[in-house]
């Protein structure tokens, strides 16, 4: 369905939301509030991250299983293989399957920062493609993998990185979710290159509404996502002015999504950072855009989700 169109969206955009597992009772309360608020947008799935090197393993499992058992949402558990043995990963995957979890976001994870010459462990899955193959041997999971519009920092070349994405999909993943980006043409060019390389699976843009600009720049630097030259000026002086910063952040993310939607992108994955407000504003605007372009009798139907 990801055909590039010249004109705007004809169908309702689809959403998925990413959360991190909460670490305190207060954060837990916010997590559930956010999950319920964004649940009204009828997401295809909601995913829960796995802290670097599995540091949040228990909290991730707990959050994923509570979502499964206490809501109508479809949870996807992030799972990284770095620093774990194949037996440990397989055991966790078996646990998830037995609990009823059917979706996994399969990742390699980052090497520990204090180990510059880090080598994957001999009895582990070395790369995400190996992890995907291992998960498929355990059970029939629906697996998502990561993709990098601006190329993964460790990749030998853009082509090698695309080959890697292809390997992950050939190993049994069914969709890719991208690293965040701020220039929509980076995503569209990447999509074109992936299609030219014969990749047909959905590639979902990962959208990061900016909660804290300084922190966003730090993360972008570590994963080599570029910050466009016009972006810093927008957030300058707004560190302590949430009432101005938040509408600006929502507008930046909405413009990005609208540009993509106008070119045929219909699915969006939001890095929510466990906040409902910015993502909710963007989803509402996208639904309203879709409604304005639909036949009058379908308009009410398209915005219904946003009104809940
Ligand atoms: P891979 O696909 O294995 O690729 C890693 C690098 O190795 C790439 O440069 C690739 O080109 C290269 N490569 C692959 N195979 C080979 C090979 N055979 N030979 C040589 N080079 C090879 N991290 C977390 O810790 N927890 C999370 O929950 C989490 N969620 C994420 C969600 C999304 C949507 C994204 C985009 C990233 C997420 N990350 C997460 C970050 C991710 O773990 C890092 O970006 C990590 O460095 C790479 O993971 P990967 O799965 O893309 O690795």
Task: Give 104-163 pLDDT, tens digit per residue.
Answer: 999 999 988 777 777 788 999 999 999 999 999 999 999 999 999 999 999 999 999 999
For 115, residues 6+ apart whose C-beta sits below 8 A from its C-beta are: none
226 in Cβ contact with 182 (< 8 Å): yes
Query: What torsion, rounded to 10 degrees, do the Cα atoms 132, 136, 139, 144 define?
Result: 40
What is the per-residue pLDDT for 306?
A: 56
232 in Cβ contact with 221 (< 8 Å): no
- Cβ–ligand 1 distance for 159 under 6 Å, the answer no
Burial classification of residue 303, based on how many CB atoms lie within 10 Å of its CB (0-12 exposed, 13-18 middle, 19 or more buried): middle
Q: How far apart are CA 136 and CA 217, in angstroms?
A: 36
User: What beta strand segments (E) does 66-122 contain?
Assistant: 75-80, 103-107
Mapping DSSP to helix (H, G, I), strand (E, B) and coil, where does residue 128 land?
Answer: helix
pTM to 2 decimals? Answer: 0.94
What is the per-residue pLDDT for 23?
A: 95
Catalytic residues: 18
- Cβ–ligand 1 distance for 154 under 6 Å, the answer yes
Question: The complex's ipTM?
Answer: 0.99
For 148, residues 6+ apart whose C-beta sits below 8 A from its C-beta are: 155, 161, 178, 179, 190
21 in Cβ contact with 272 (< 8 Å): no
For 257, residues 6+ apart whose C-beta sits below 8 A from its C-beta are: 13, 205, 207, 265, 268, 282, 285, 286
- Cβ–ligand 1 distance for 130 under 6 Å, the answer no
CA of 66 from ligand 1 middle (Å) equals 27
**pLDDT per residue rounded down to tens, the chain (308 residues):** 454 444 445 588 999 999 999 999 999 999 999 999 999 999 999 999 999 877 899 999 999 999 999 999 999 999 999 999 999 999 999 999 999 999 999 999 998 877 777 778 899 999 999 999 999 999 999 999 999 999 999 999 999 999 999 999 999 999 999 999 999 999 999 999 999 999 999 999 999 999 999 999 999 999 999 999 999 999 999 999 999 999 999 999 999 999 999 999 999 999 999 999 999 999 999 999 998 887 777 666 666 655 44
CA of 290 from ligand 1 middle (Å) equals 33
């Amino acid at each position: 369905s990801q055909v590039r169109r010249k004109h705007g969206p004809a169908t309702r955009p689809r959403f998925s939301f990413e959360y991190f597992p909460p670490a305190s009772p207060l954060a837990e309360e916010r997590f559930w509030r956010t999950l319920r608020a964004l649940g009204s947008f009828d997401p295809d799935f909601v995913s829960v991250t796995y802290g670097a090197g599995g540091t949040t393993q228990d909290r991730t499992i707990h959050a994923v299983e509570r979502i499964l058992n206490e809501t109508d949402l479809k949870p996807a558990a992030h799972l990284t293989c770095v620093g774990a043995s194949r037996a440990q990963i397989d055991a966790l995957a078996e646990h998830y399957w037995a609990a009823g979890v059917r979706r996994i976001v399969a990742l390699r994870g980052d090497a520990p920062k204090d180990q510059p010459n880090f080598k994957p462990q001999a009895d582990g899955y070395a790369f995400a493609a190996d992890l995907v193959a291992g998960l498929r041997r355990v059970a029939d999971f629906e697996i998502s993998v990561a993709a990098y519009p601006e190329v993964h920092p460790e990749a030998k070349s853009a082509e090698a990185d695309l080959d890697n994405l292809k390997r992950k999909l050939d190993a049994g993943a069914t969709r890719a979710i991208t690293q965040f980006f701020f220039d929509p043409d980076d995503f569209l060019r990447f999509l074109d290159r992936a299609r030219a390389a014969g990749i047909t699976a959905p590639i979902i843009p990962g959208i990061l509404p900016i909660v804290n600009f300084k922190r966003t720049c730090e993360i972008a630097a570590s994963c080599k996502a570029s910050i466009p030259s016009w972006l810093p000026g927008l957030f300058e002086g707004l560190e302590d002015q949430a009432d101005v910063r938040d509408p600006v952040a929502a507008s930046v993310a909405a413009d990005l999504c609208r540009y993509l939607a106008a070119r045929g992108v219909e699915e969006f994955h939001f890095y929510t950072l466990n906040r409902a407000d910015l993502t909710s504003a963007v989803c509402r605007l996208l639904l309203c855009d879709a409604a304005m372009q639909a036949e009058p009798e379908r308009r009410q139907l398209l915005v219904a989700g946003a009104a809940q």
